Structure 1
Amino acid sequence: MAIKTYKPTTPSRRHMTVSAFEGIDKKAKPERSLTEVLKKNAGRNSYGRITVRHRGGGNKKKYRIID
């Protein structure tokens, strides 16, 4: 996997680098045995009461286990 570097158009871009994911197929689903459910608590505490506002909803997410 290559590292993509940016031209210094702003001071923060001068040292900015990211991983290039050209060789990775984004449409391929991960191996099912290497995924597990990522539990959401939607801003609730151990009593089940909302303690943080404006959280919740959204799509289901999975956690991918990497060796």
Structure 2
Amino acid sequence: MSIKKFRPITPSRRHMTIMTFEEITKTEPEKSLTEPLKRKAGRNAQGRMTVRHRGGGHKRLYRIIDFKRRKDDVPAKVAAIEYDPNRSAYIALLHYADGHKS
């Protein structure tokens, strides 16, 4: 995991660093493991604005992640490392021997 550091051309660039996406092996997410993510943007259940200064940003898809990992006896192989816009870590796509993806 490498980090790109910028040259100090401006005061804000002096401490700017970004991640290089060399570890990511797929450009598109696994379609069967994504679902739409409803943006709240500071609205409550009635649709009224309850928190100001929220909203905007880029449209995201939610990645379905198997946190329970109950397939202990089924061997799996890491098929790809994917980018997840909803968390600060990358996620691994697993292909199980029984054909299930996670």
TM-score under structure 2 length normalisation: 0.39
Runs of 4+, deviation exceeding 2 Å: 21-25
What is the distance in 1 between the residues matched to 2:31 and 2:59? 15
Partner of 1:9: none
What's the secondary structure of 1:36's corresponding residue?
Answer: strand
The answer to whether structure 1 residue 29 and structure 2 residue 28 are counterparts is yes
Q: CA RMSD in A?
A: 2.3
Identity of aligned residues (%): 66
Residue of structure 2 in register with 1:50 after alignment:
49
Give the partner amino acid of 2:54: R
Q: Highest relative contact order (Cα 8 Å, sep 6+), 1 or 2? A: 1
Q: State the TM-score, normalized to the length of structure 1.
A: 0.56
Q: Distance in 2 between matches of 1:24 and 1:47?
A: 39
Once residues 59 and 22 of structure 1 are traced to their aligned partners in structure 2, the CA distance between those partners, rounded to angstroms, is: 22
Q: Deviations over 1:7-37 (max 9, x none)?
A: xxxxxxxxxxxxxx75432x51111111111
Q: Which residue of 2 aligns with 1:17?
A: none
Structure with greater proportional strand content: 2
Unaligned runs of 5+ in 1: 3-20
Deviations 1:35-66 (CA, angstroms, capped at 9, x unpaired): 11111111011221111011111111011113
Aligned positions, number:
48
Instruction: Provide the rounded CA distance (Å) in 2 between the counterparts of 1:24 and 1:53.
Output: 35
